[in-house]
Amino acid sequence: DADVTQTPRNRITKTGKRIMLECSQTKGHDRMYWYRQDPGLGLRLIYYSFDVKDINKGEISDGYSVSRQAQAKFSLSLESAIPNQTALYFCATSSPPTLATDTQYFGPGTRLTVL
Amino acid sequence: EDQVTQSPEALRLQEGESSSLNCSYTVSGLRGLFWYRQDPGKGPEFLFTLYSAGEEKEKERLKATLTKKESFLHITAPKPEDSATYLCAVQAGTGGFKTIFGAGTRLFVKA
């Protein structure tokens, strides 16, 4: 079984609808992240969480919200979806950083289309 | 401003034709530089972490190197299964947690 799972894998929705993307992990990592990927722009951080009680905004959090239900679960919500939120969304996890680095491990992604 | 730039955007090689991908970065206090491989429809897969200038790491046909301003991913005698997008990311050591990704290089290897 995959260490980081995302549901759904694909979703088509309409403008104004509320959407929730879910992420679960079995790696036992404390840190979880949500990114979106757009062609030519690379991965951009939406929100991140260092533990269940810690939620932080990333560089593009407007229009999104998150919930950390447990150490292993981190959900991303679009309260009122708009077409420019059409993108590939990735969840990632990491263990607390060593002195040197904090390697992130990614889920398979959710392709979201907003019509 | 912290920034990561990858070049070229796309690279087409014949099987066995060695080449290099470039990742140029500007960051306040480099903590680590990462290389990931991403196949179509999948999440990025971790390849390497480099911590300081002069460091090198190898994995099969891939070799990553690091200087104070850039990193190279050298691909020796590539095979079609090496076709993927290669992502570079840097993690800053100042201002708390921050990881910045480049846009990636799409590699196509033709048999």
A89 touches chain B (CB under 8 A): no
Whole-number Cα distances in Å, A24 to A3, A9, A49: 8, 13, 13
Which chain B residues are closer than 8 Å to A100 by Cβ?
31-32, 49, 51
Radius of gyration of chain A (CA): 14
Give yes or no for a contact between A113 and A20, defined as CB atoms under 8 angstroms apart: no
| Identity of the residue in A4, A92, A101 whose CB atom sits nearest the CB atom of B49 | A101
Task: For residue B91, give the chain A residue with the closest CA.
Answer: A101
| Identity of the residue in A44, A90, A101 whose CB atom sits nearest the CB atom of B32 | A101
pLDDT, tens digit, for every residue of A58-107?
989 999 999 999 999 999 999 999 999 999 999 999 986 665 567 889 99
What sign does the CA torsion over A60, B106, A82, A51 have?
negative
pLDDT, tens digit, for every residue of A44-58?
999 999 889 999 999
Q: What is the pLDDT along chain B (111 residues), one digit of tens a residue?
A: 788 999 999 999 999 999 999 999 998 888 889 999 999 889 999 999 998 899 999 999 999 999 999 999 999 999 999 999 999 999 886 655 678 999 999 999 999
The tokens 């070799």 sit on which residue? Answer: B63
Contact B44 A43 (CB under 8 A): yes
In a mutational test of the A interface, the residue from B51, B99, B100 whose CB has the highest number of chain A CBs within 10 Å is B99
Cβ neighbours of residue A98 closer than 8 Å, sequence gap 6 or more: none
pLDDT, tens digit, for every residue of A2-46?
699 999 999 999 999 999 999 999 999 999 999 999 988 889 999
